[in-house]
Amino acid sequence: MSENELRNTTAMPTVTKDLFESASESSMQDKEKISAPSLSFMADSWRRLKKNKVAMVSLVILIIITMSSLLAPVIAPHDPNAQTVQYANMPPKIPGIDINGLNGTVKQNGVVIDKYEASNVPEDVYYYLGTDSLGRDLLSRILYGTRVSLFIAFMAALFNLTLGVVYGLTSGWLGGKVDNIMQRILEILSGVPNLVVVILMLLVLKPGISSIIIALALTEWLSMARVVRAQTLKLKNQEYILAARTLGQSPMKIAFGHILPNLAGVIIIQVMFSIPSAIFFEAFLSFIGIGIPAPNASLGTLINDGYKTFRFLPHLMWYPAGIMSVIMICFNLLADGLRDAFDPKMRD
């Protein structure tokens, strides 16, 4: 075979227009579509939060506890303030469970005694967590006490959210002499201990929920104001804020329309951390005797009542203390999860 014949056999086929198919406009648009759906900041944060199993379990537990406390009038087996002295200091008894400590029996002088039978308690009456020294059902008091403690904590968080955000946003946005004066006021208020403020409130108001909420409202928002001010100082010199100023938007609209939405993550995290702090503060006040007055119950008053007889009836203290510990731990774990969800760089 000659060289020319070999060259003709190995030559490439002629490329013509018939070999190609023109792409339609719809197919081009399909290729340019983004396969993953676009997510907003809150949707993306929720997606990351759902991956945090500890935070989600804490959220579920908090929802169950909150709903149980809200439905206390419905699910409470007894009146929380009803006193039945002949049934005082009854041990826990749960129907269908034959375990020491949960079957209504106590051990006295080495002999196991059915306390319910000895006290002539009707067979259809059960005290699932026992009774206190006045014969009041502990489970019912825990349900109502948890509602009081959560109410105080959420009201403190509400004041923390409103006062702290407005004060910190105003201070950081205005800056200059106004910011300097406002920060000196914060330093003066933060120098006064919370306990002193509560005692002063008790001199003016009657002891109770209102005085505790007012005392928390006067002191708990200081940390929120500092955090919001620092973030506002960081954001107010960003390009989009300068563009909004150039376009002639009012300072109020810029502060609440551009800066505040970008502070949502920091604010939510700060509020979540403030709730367990308020619960602990209320429990501390009730434990030392200047909190919720009798016969109303809170977790602090229940712990105080159980502390007096802890050596003989430890369950009267263990149950409310356990509920308060679970609430505080869950709020802190949820706040940690929210911090990681809103700012993934915090985990690095």
Taking only the tens place, the pLDDT of each residue in 177-195 is 888 998 898 888 888 777 7
Detail the DSSP E strand segments found in the chain: 105-108, 111-114
Q: Which residue has the higher pLDDT, 184 or 36?
A: 184
Checking if the pLDDT of 113 tops 90, the result is no
177, HSE (Cβ side, Cα atoms, 13 Å): 0
Compute the average pLDDT of residues 210-229. Answer: 83
What gap in Å lies between CA 243 and CA 237, rounded to an integer?
10
What gap in Å lies between CA 156 and CA 161, rounded to an integer?
9
Taking only the tens place, the pLDDT of each residue in 137-147 is 888 899 998 99
Q: Could you tell me what percent of the chain has a pLDDT over 90? A: 5
**Cα-only R_g, the chain:** 32
Tell me which residue of 295, 304, 346, 300 sits closest to 327, measured CA to CA. Answer: 300
**Position 348 confidence tier, pLDDT thresholds 50, 70, 90:** very low
Taking only the tens place, the pLDDT of each residue in 295-347 is 778 888 888 888 888 777 888 888 888 998 999 899 889 888 888 887 755 55
Q: Which two tokens stand for residue 153?
A: 């904590």
What burial letters (b/e) apply to 160-177, b meaning 16+ CB within 10 Å?
A: bbebbbbbbbbbbbbeee
Compute the average pLDDT of residues 124-140. Answer: 84
Taking only the tens place, the pLDDT of each residue in 260-269 is 878 877 888 8
Q: Could you tell me what percent of the chain has a pLDDT over 70? A: 86
H or E segment and range at residue 141: helix 138-174
Checking if the pLDDT of 83 tops 50, the result is yes
Tell me which residue of 224, 206, 207, 209 sits closest to 151, measured CA to CA. Answer: 209
Look at residue 114 and give its three-state secondary structure. Answer: strand
Checking if the pLDDT of 158 tops 70, the result is yes
| Bridge partners (DSSP) listed for residue 137 | 131
Checking if the pLDDT of 20 tops 80, the result is no
What gap in Å lies between CA 306 and CA 296, rounded to an integer?
15
**Position 57 confidence tier, pLDDT thresholds 50, 70, 90:** very high
DSSP 8-state secondary structure symbol assigned to residue 249: -
**Position 61 confidence tier, pLDDT thresholds 50, 70, 90:** very high
Q: Phi/psi of residue 80, each to 5°?
A: -65, -20
Q: Which residue has the higher pLDDT, 284 or 180?
A: 180
Q: Which residue has the higher pLDDT, 138 or 109?
A: 138
Compute the average pLDDT of residues 29-39. Answer: 58
What gap in Å lies between CA 143 and CA 302, rounded to an integer?
11
Question: What is the pLDDT of the chain when averaged over all its residues?
Answer: 80
Taking only the tens place, the pLDDT of each residue in 192-219 is 777 787 777 777 777 778 878 887 888 7
DSSP 8-state secondary structure symbol assigned to residue 34: -
